Amino acid sequence: MSKKLIVAGGGIGGMAAALALHRAGLDVTVFERAPVFAEVGAGVSLWPNATRVLESLGVLEEILARGETVTQFNLHRSDGTRISAIPMAGYATPAVCVHRADLHRALYTPLPAASLEPGHIIESFQDEDGGVTARFAGGREVRADGLIGSDGINSVIRAQLHGAVPADYRGYRIWRGLAPDPGGLVRGHISETWGAGRRFGIMPIGQGRICWYATYNCPASQPDAMDGRQAEVRALFRGWHDPIPALIEATAPADILKTDARDRPPLRTWGRGGVTLLGDAAHPITPNVGQGACMAIEDAACLAKLLPGAMDVARAFRAYEQARGPRTAFIARQARRIGTIGQWENPWVVRGRNFVTRLVLARRPGVQLNAVYAYKV
């Protein structure tokens, strides 16, 4: 009989896992705390390592149709001069930027309706011989052969396994917004602009929409400025190159999202018995390399390779964790390092950083990028 699995948390990671496991013939149900399955209004970049998996799941075509294929990543100074450009050609599957809701929908639409259970908050689990019982708010209990905790950076499943420890704040805040395409952008190009202690990113996500993000060094959990998020971002990026001021201006103030940059040190062991973790619950990554969701998608593909045919779910989970631990720790380290360098403030250090970055990326960016993008699960 096919193994029965619970996926707790129906974000991008949970849905990717559910689809990959469903396609592999397993009996999987997703329990999500939100009353409906929905993703917040921002974009996400998906790099060739993740689009390869999405292709194998049969959903890449739809994502490419809704998003915008990336052909080049440009790095600028705040006056608009270019530090470097990285072409994105030559990978088996393309990079793409897409609205999160479009990605999410592409992942859950092929799933049977009965396998999606919104409005369920997982509170705890009990791991017994030969099975796991998940307990939800309101008292419902569900028993299965395995439980996959994909409930995000503040995962309750991770907290039960490893203790409730707050994620580490990395010293800067991130705003994200969506604006209509102001025109004049080169199709397929995405960019990040580096200043002193602040950065601004521009990602066309298809259908005439541009997702932007902005970072700034400050203490954790700061409240919004009195005059609101848009005014705060406008002031921080005043005088930066076009179309940055226009994009900020064209964004509905109420739609600007704000997040603290956080991650966690890698875990030595992720799960126990019939319980494992996936995505941000296992390895939250600062957004500096745009790989958090991509790692969750890779996790999903890895689980779906190891679980079918496994007699023992717990052993398959441990094999999955061993396969995924080093890869996700490496990416998280890269992201943290780039975030630290990108947020340097001293103007002289910043000039040196931009100069060295240009030299390093001019030499052989392909070697470093291949380790990330050409990865096969």
Ligand X SMILES: Cc1cc2nc3c(=O)[nH]c(=O)nc-3n(C[C@H](O)[C@H](O)[C@H](O)COP(=O)(O)OP(=O)(O)OC[C@H]3O[C@@H](n4cnc5c(N)ncnc54)[C@H](O)[C@@H]3O)c2cc1C
Tell me if 292 contacts ligand X by CB under 6 A: yes
Give the pair of three-digit tokens for residue 140.
């419902």
CB 6 within 8 A of CB 303: no
Query: Binding string, 107-136, against ligand X, x = CB under 6 A?
Result: --------------xx--------------
14, 177, 195, 206: which one binds ligand X (CB under 6 A): 14
Tell me if 13 contacts ligand X by CB under 6 A: yes
3-class state of residue 147 by DSSP:
strand
Contact positions with ligand X (CB under 6 A) in 154-193? 156, 174, 176
Least distance from C-beta 150 to ligand X, angstroms?
5
Least distance from C-beta 339 to ligand X, angstroms?
11
Strands 189-194 and 72-77: parallel
Tell me if 332 contacts ligand X by CB under 6 A: no
71, 126, 259, 370: which one binds ligand X (CB under 6 A): 259
Dump the DSSP string for 165-230: -PPEEEEEEEEEEEEE--S-PPTTEEEEEE-SSEEEEEEE-STTEEEEEEEEE--TTPPPPTT-HH
Nearest to 304 by CA among 13, 103, 11, 18: 18
The total number of residues written for the chain in this structure: 377
Nearest to 333 by CA among 270, 299, 291: 291
Contact positions with ligand X (CB under 6 A) in 208-227? 213
Tell me if 287 contacts ligand X by CB under 6 A: yes
Nearest to 88 by CA among 286, 326, 333, 290: 290
54, 294, 300, 314: which one binds ligand X (CB under 6 A): 294
> Considering only 226-234, 263-271, 283-291, 306-314, which stretch makes contact with ligand X by CB under 6 A?
283-291
Tell me if 298 contacts ligand X by CB under 6 A: no
CB 74 within 8 A of CB 82: yes
Verify cis geometry, omega within 30 degrees of 0, for the bond prior to 243.
yes
> Considering only 107-115, 151-159, 221-229, 235-243, which stretch makes contact with ligand X by CB under 6 A?
151-159
Helix (H) or strand (E) holding 148: strand 146-149
CB 30 within 8 A of CB 36: no
Tell me if 274 contacts ligand X by CB under 6 A: no
Q: How many residues bind ligand X (CB under 6 A)?
A: 33
5, 6, 11, 146: which one binds ligand X (CB under 6 A): 11
Give the pair of three-digit tokens for residue 238.
């005043």
DSSP 272: B
Tell me if 342 contacts ligand X by CB under 6 A: no
In terms of CB distance, is 118 or 182 closer to ligand X? 118
Which residue is listed with tokens 């409930």? Answer: 151
Least distance from C-beta 97 to ligand X, angstroms?
7
Contact positions with ligand X (CB under 6 A) in 40-69? 44-45
Least distance from C-beta 1 to ligand X, angstroms?
26
- List contacts with ligand X (CB under 6 A): 8-14, 31-34, 44-45, 121-122, 150-152, 156, 174, 176, 213, 259, 279-281, 287, 290-294, 296
